[in-house]
Amino acid sequence: MKVSKFDKIWLSVPELIDWDKAVGFKYALSKDSPRYYDVRIADFVETLGAKEIDKAILLRRKIFAVDRDDLPVIDRPAYCYIYAELAYQSKTYLLNNGKWFCEHDLRGAFGRRSRKRAFG
């Protein structure tokens, strides 16, 4: 993935967070690493210093929800924070919490489930 293409890619917290404990996020646990109050793809990518990013990097690097003392409350691979909607060969693919879905397949599955519920 080229670093500058983020129009349909964003970060979102992949699980519920106890906001009484967590006060922000860090992309590294060093003392000098800044704390952010939200996860943003541009901020994360800036900390990588890479021109291209691949899945291996995203699985290796963690994003930390931290408490007031910058101690981790949650640490998950960055890949789990990435949400995306990408078009490829006339289909739309969705990345949600580390899992890929094809919009066409989802539409069919939800349609079948909805029809089954409605018509028994």
Query: Is 73 domain-assigned?
Result: yes
Q: Provide the pLDDT confidence category of residue 119 given band limits of 50, 70 and 90.
A: very low
Query: Is 31 domain-assigned?
Result: yes
Query: Is 2 domain-assigned?
Result: no
pLDDT confidence of residue 106: 59
Query: Is 1 domain-assigned?
Result: no
Locate 89 and state its tokens: 């060969």
Tens-place pLDDT, residues 52-74: 889 999 999 999 999 999 999 99
Query: Is 49 domain-assigned?
Result: yes
Residue 28 CA: distances (Å) to CA of 48, 70, 80, 82: 10, 10, 16, 17
Q: What is the CA radius of gyration of the chain?
A: 17
Query: Is 36 domain-assigned?
Result: yes
**Count: domains in the chain:** 1
3 has a pLDDT exceeding 60 = no
Instruction: Give the range of the structural domain holding residue 52, as residue numbers without chain letter.
Output: 9-119
Mean pLDDT (whole number) for 90-98? 88
Query: Is 3 domain-assigned?
Result: no
Query: Is 65 domain-assigned?
Result: yes
Tens-place pLDDT, residues 5-56: 677 889 999 999 999 999 999 999 998 999 999 999 999 999 998 778 899 9
